[in-house]
Amino acid sequence: MLTKLNPVETDSLIRDTEMMRRCIRLSAIAAEQGEFPFAALICEGDCVVVETTNLVVQRGDVTRHAELVAVSEAQKILGRKDLSTCTLYSNVEPCAMCSFPVRETRIGRVIYAISSPIMGGYSRWNVLRDTEIADVMPEAFGPVPEVIAGLCRDEAEQVWRAWNPVVWAVIKHRGYLGHATVATPEHLQAIAPRTSHLRKLLTTLYKRGWEWVAAAKRHSGH
């Protein structure tokens, strides 16, 4: 039986979809600027408080994930630590490092498109679902936020695919983002000889990625 959404739920879904698509467009801009395609928005109701991309390459700082930048800026803009009335939108599931500040600022809702089975603070490391940290230290950590996973996933993945089809194919195969390629028992023997090759390829592509970023910056004159 189909469940009919009430007007409030419908309005929320429309708003969430609109904001996620805005986030996905921003992730494409991140790729154009030489960053990996990560982006995040923090909204309060219909108001966008802050939107940002990864700044890891631009700042030369591995902690400048889009979600961390967004949380930091939102506190400054709103003039408070408590972001319980806010929603965080990210085109990729926040990692564990990004998820702890979400709990500390008490962000009420977290919505993402692409899952991160290896690094995810929800699907892998349970930071966004853990009730104990709030029970033990309620002064520091807020309650478990509402989490919506997979919103506009195909659209978000298309940005990664367009950014670098080869890297995206390897990322998907390794299961770093999205769902890993499923290998049935009869396929394992055929896949095994390629495993070391894929690992070497991903390592090479990761190193070359920084070279491509540097070359793009030189070409653009920045």
Angstrom distance (rounded) from CA 27 to CA 21: 10
65, 56 in Cβ contact below 8 A? yes
| Residue 173: its H or E element | helix 165-174
Contact assessment for residue 23 and residue 40, using Cβ atoms and an 8 Å cutoff: yes
Secondary structure letter of residue 38 according to DSSP: -
Catalytic option among 35, 51, 67, 157: 67
Q: Which residues pair with 110 in a beta bridge?
A: 88, 147
Q: Which helix (H) or strand (E) holds 100?
A: helix 96-104
Q: Say how many Å lie between the first and final Cα of the chain, rounded.
A: 57
Q: Is 67 a catalytic residue?
A: yes
> Which phi and psi angles does 2 have, rounded to 5°?
-80, 140
- Strand 47-53 with 87-92, pairing: unpaired
Which tokens in the block code for residue 172?
A: 């998907």
Q: Which residues pair with 52 in a beta bridge?
A: 40
Catalytic residues, by residue number, are 67
